[in-house]
Amino acid sequence: MSDIANDVLAAQQDRNKLNQLISDYLPFIKKQLSGLQGMRLEYGDMLSLAMLTFSGCVQQYALEKGNFLAFCSTCIRNRLLDESRKQVRYESKIVPLFDDENENQPCVADGEAAIAIYNTEQEQISLAQEIEYFSTEVKKYGIDFDDLPRICPKQVRSRELCSKLAREIVATPILHSEFMSTHRIAQSELSAQFDISPKTIEKHRKYIVTLVVLMDGDFPYIQAFLPNFREVI
């Protein structure tokens, strides 16, 4: 068990240790705010949310979740993106009822058009942020996001098999824990369980890993975007 895991488990039972843990990892928490572009939140609000999320992660953490900091990083990012999207939806409802030139003439149509453009821009920003974060995550496993079209199996049966294996890894605590802690697929266990050759798993290893990261994280825009091209999931 790592030192951070020990500290987290101890902090679950002791409020003072929790406060000390938050203080010790404040630089890590602040680092999670960098790289998030187009956020509709003030920095102070983002930091407060990140600290609250860190505290929540401490309380929710269990060893089977794998590396704590990786788990916490994902949770903080997802929380901030969710709050930013809520703010966007709130702001989109604030539409001027009258134009500046003639206070008696409604400009609802113009407002709706502006909202549509704004929402499209925000979706593009969110997609770009997700791709950047997803690229960082799969990079940990030696995979480049740009290689996805190349590593995607051409045959439908192969894609379906890879999807089945990836879902099994995500759904099975032991397999998921091993994947998160070692960054490796439990090939022997999957080979025996699904009666397939380990060579087949190794052949599609990068694609399976990509799917596990995609399924295990919060990537709604990527998940909606990819099937239109290669039926990834």
pLDDT of 94 strictly over 50 = no
Report which of 21, 145, 17, 1 is spatially closest to residue 65, judged by C-alpha positions: 1
Tell me the CB-side half-sphere exposure of residue 102, using CA atoms within 13 A. 4
Closest CA to 122 of 42, 46, 39, 228: 39
pTM for the model: 0.49
C-alpha dist (Å) from residue 123 to 33, 91, 189, 206, 233: 19, 15, 40, 28, 21
The segment(s) of the chain belonging to CATH 1.10.1740 are 1-85
Give, as one character, the DSSP assignment of residue 145.
G
Q: Look at residue 89 and give its three-state secondary structure.
A: helix
CATH fold of 1-85 reads Rna Polymerase Sigma Factor; Chain: A (1.10.1740)
- 206: pLDDT confidence band, cut at 50, 70 and 90? very high
What are the tens digits of pLDDT across the range 113-153? Answer: 444 544 555 666 666 777 778 888 888 888 887 777 788 88
Assess contact for 77 and 126: CB atoms under 8 A. no
Cα–Cα distance measured from residue 56 to residue 67, given in angstroms and rounded to the nearest whole number:
15
Tokens standing for residue 219: 């990537």
* Residue 106: φ, ψ to 5°: -65, 145
Gap between the Cα atoms of 51 and 55, Å rounded: 6
Tokens of 96: 């001027």
Token pair 């407002």 is found at 111
Residue 222 burial (10 A CB sphere; 0-12, 13-18, 19+):
buried
Side chain identity at 119, as an amino acid letter? Answer: N
What CA–CA distance (Å, rounded) separates 135 from 212? 13
Per-residue pLDDT band at 110 (split at 50, 70, 90) = very low
Residues 26-82: tens digit of each pLDDT: 888 888 887 665 666 777 878 888 888 898 888 888 887 788 888 888 888 888 887
